[in-house]
Structure 1
Amino acid sequence: MFWSNTGEISPMDNTFTVIVPVYNEEESLPAFFEAIEQFLGTSPVPTQVLFINDGSSDESPALLRQRCDTEPHLHYLTLDRNYGLSTAIKAGIDNCNTSLVGYIDADLQTKPEDFLLYFEYFPDYDMVNGIRAKRKDSLIKKLSSKFANSYRRLMINDGISDTCCPLKIIKTDYARQMPFFTGMHRFIPALVQLQGGRVREIPVSHYPRLAGTSKYHLLNRLVGPFFDTLAFRWMRSRYISYGIADRSR
């Protein structure tokens, strides 16, 4: 394997880690395993998958152990309790050592095969973010997402159409420098831009959830983004960034 947080393995060029946060997804995982294996067979760069078990209380941990123990490109970490999506993504970034790092949900509402559309934009861009075309969500979920995206763009003017699309690839150097906080996953493109990074958005397919249940409801899709956006504005106004004009030898 070529992911590690020990410092014993040097980062390799043109390698990719897919982070998959998992919280009580026992019904979705079998189909996800098949979809990610198909992607691994077509990926143009050496690719590993790192599942982050975010304190699941169902059979997800057992399914991850069983599959990852037999597949050399699949790995998992189990957190000691449920921390939430932002922490799971940070844990994945902290424990990968590849030049690119991506993120996808385990519910298969987006498909790993769409990652194949992203690679042509590197190294010109520092992040590629999906735009979920023809979303197959409930009306309430669509409306709450539209409201949250509109409010975020109004408040921080990041120009991103679908910041929470769960299909992203980032240069790992940029991912590691992102300031992390609860709710950070809603601002990953803006956090890359904060470092001066270039973000490209491209359309990706979107599908109905075929198994399991969503972990989000109207309250946490509206109240959370409201306060998180205020937190991001505060953090951005105090973010330290500088350039060096000259130095001694």
Structure 2
Amino acid sequence: MTGADPAAAAAPDTDDQPHVLVVDDDQRLRDLLRRYLAENGFRVTVAGDAAEARARLAAMHFDLLVLDVMMPGENGLELTRSLRSGSEMPILLLTAMGEAANRIAGLESGADDYLAKPFEPRELLLRMRTILRRGATAPTAAVALIQFGPFRFEPRRGELRRGATAVRLTQAETGLLRALAENPGTAVSREELADAIGIQGSVRTVDVQMTRLRRKVEADPRYPRYLQTVRGTGYVLIPD
């Protein structure tokens, strides 16, 4: 983090504010983020490591988790994978490793976004708001329900079901499926999909999100039946 906005005004602490859990072993950065985010309309709770974060998560509801990757003990990637087995809470990873391979590893672990250190606080704020907006904004698509194989997807609710069982999706996966469901049978480019789900950086990250989504809906993700690749373009959803 390279500095805070000195003009930011302190916002009142109310239950209507998004509640974010910031997890980082750097106390100075935790304190900076707590102050800056509070000044910009967030309720902020902090934790110094994964164990403390788990205690906070067990006791309170959070709208977003901002999580450092490189921590002693259980690191951020391990905690993300563990949380993803039972939670759809949005996760934004922070790390000093900004190479594409590291970013992809973060997304593959289940994170919704990835920001390399050092970062501008305004960029962090924008990314957090984008993630929260994706979860809160109802789609404008006219499609009310789309079926493919044993699955039923309702774009407006962002709900995927296999029979009577709900399939857990992250916000990024929901956005990806929603964008494809708005154009069933039609190829959607990676660039359009990246814009639809607010992915920053290389559109290669769309492929990572697609791999994760296929694991949840395809009998054999290597030979997808419903979420097919259109070479040179992007992806297409093949409904029944």
> Shorter chain as normaliser: what TM range?
0.3 to 0.5
Q: TM-score, normalised by structure 1?
A: 0.34
Q: TM-score, normalised by structure 2?
A: 0.34
